[in-house]
Chain A
Amino acid sequence: MIFSDYLFLFAGMGLVTYLPRALPLLYLAHKQLPQWLVDWLSLIPVAILSALLAPSLFADSTTRNFDIGKPELLVAIPTLIFALKTRSLGGTVLVGMLLYWLTGLYN
């Protein structure tokens, strides 16, 4: 691909990424939101993070089958405990990476 192909591709990707990020904010930030919507939206972060995370721990990404024995899940348990105890984002990332690296070395 040449420069203009890349520019077209990435400008298109950028546009379809930017609009979902911007439009709700631009619209809703100048509205008085009803209480039920505020309550519902407060549950969105935990729901999204859990939905992003769970399939990567409990399912094989190539075959899309249920899998309870993944090293990702094994490492997630001490990593979760570390996160609960310390509430340190940087520390959790490092501990997770280290443990995952170690499980790779012993497999």
Chain B
Amino acid sequence: MSARIIVRVQKESFDASTEAAALTQGRRDIGALVTFTGLCRDEGGALAALGIEHYPGMAEEEITRVAREAASRWPLEGIVAIHRYGLIQPGEPIVLVVTASTHRAEAFAAATFLMDYLKTEAPFWKKQHLSGSGPENWVESKAEDNAAVQKWRV
């Protein structure tokens, strides 16, 4: 397991291309780089912002654990996983997963695996702040997200 693993939990925004470049800088052996960015959407104008709460310490540890698991399942050269917390406006990035490998199949699979696990195992909770004077609602976990993570457990 030689993959370089970079995990960050932060309030600040990030630039996906800068983060991805950290994995390929000076390398000539990486043939595939998959970058996934999860963004805050406005739900057709209904959403003013998302408030993301996290469990400091455990959030970093869980993401690192999942990244190491990905590196043990696929021959990866590098992983970047960044998750934000705090108040996030529509259009802003929330989460970033970058996977680097020799060939594309491993990079795509590992990126999907990482996102499936991050959504259900990393201790983050989203609260919707609605436009106008609407109420604030905690986002409910989705059955399809739980089903998505189950498929990796076979």
A and B are interacting partners: no
